Amino acid sequence: MKRGFRGVTMVVAVLASMGLSAIIPALAARTNLGDANDSPGRLDLRHIRFDQDAGPASWALRTFGSWTVDDIEDSGFVLVILDTLGSPDEDYLVVVRSDGRKLVGLLLRRRTGGRDTEVGRVRVAKSGADGVTVTVGMGKLNFGPKRTWYFWWVLSQFTGKDCPRTCLDRAPEERAVQQEIPSPSPTPTPSPSPTDSPTPSPSP
Ligand SMILES: [Ca+2]
Ligand SMILES: [Ca+2]
């Protein structure tokens, strides 16, 4: 775990240096997002399929090349970055890393001028040779008052062959995706039971 946290700290430091505060709403609702072959690393993002009905948000990420959990242990990270509060900086990070046996996901709350805090684990799963799926329940996040939407974008980082000084890839390249906060599922209205119907009076 300590080894993983050193990796997380490194990612956050790199992220903070990228100047990500310029957010432009790009799309609403369900999203299929392509990204160019624009980074030499193993984690060059190719496609993101975002899906959210009333339940958790899900990002299915695919890269141009294939990779294994062994390939990216301590060298590759994927971040889903969330702006939920309307503050000048991002509010949450989902950090996906490999512990050498499987992918693990950690949700961090960003603190401007302070230390990021761990909110908890999130569900991540390797998806084929070139992908990972990240799932975040909305109950783990705080949203700004009266906010009906949030922004997200994705950043990958890889250090290794072809990337001795670390390769970064961002999607969308310069924007964030605007996503409506789903309404809670409506509580089903119980059907009246037959016994609730008034019993007709017998005719005289
Ligand atoms: Ca890319
Ligand atoms: Ca890109």
Residues, CB-to-ion distance under 5 Å, ligand 1: 35, 38, 44-45, 169
The Cα–Cα gap between 123 and 110 comes to: 19
Question: pTM higher than 0.85, yes or no?
Answer: no
The Cα–Cα gap between 192 and 127 comes to: 45
Of 167, 134, 152, 178, give the one whose Cα is nearest residue 64. Answer: 167
The Cα–Cα gap between 164 and 52 comes to: 36
- DSSP H/E element including 61: strand 57-63
Any residues with CB less than 8 A from the CB of 45 and at least 6 apart, and which?
35, 39, 61, 62, 63, 64, 154, 156, 169, 170, 171
Q: How many residues does the chain have?
A: 204
Identify the nearest ligand to the CA of 64 by its number: 1
Could you tell me the distance, in angstroms and rounded to a whole number, from the CA of residue 50 to the centre of ligand 2?
Answer: 16
pLDDT digits 0-9 by tens, 39-64: 998 999 999 999 987 789 999 999 99
- What's the pLDDT at 17? 42
pLDDT of residue 130 exceeding 60, the answer is: yes
Identify the nearest ligand to the CA of 153 by its number: 2
102 or 18, greater pLDDT: 102
What is the residue type of 27? L
Q: How confident is the model at residue 11 (pLDDT cuts 50, 70, 90)?
A: low
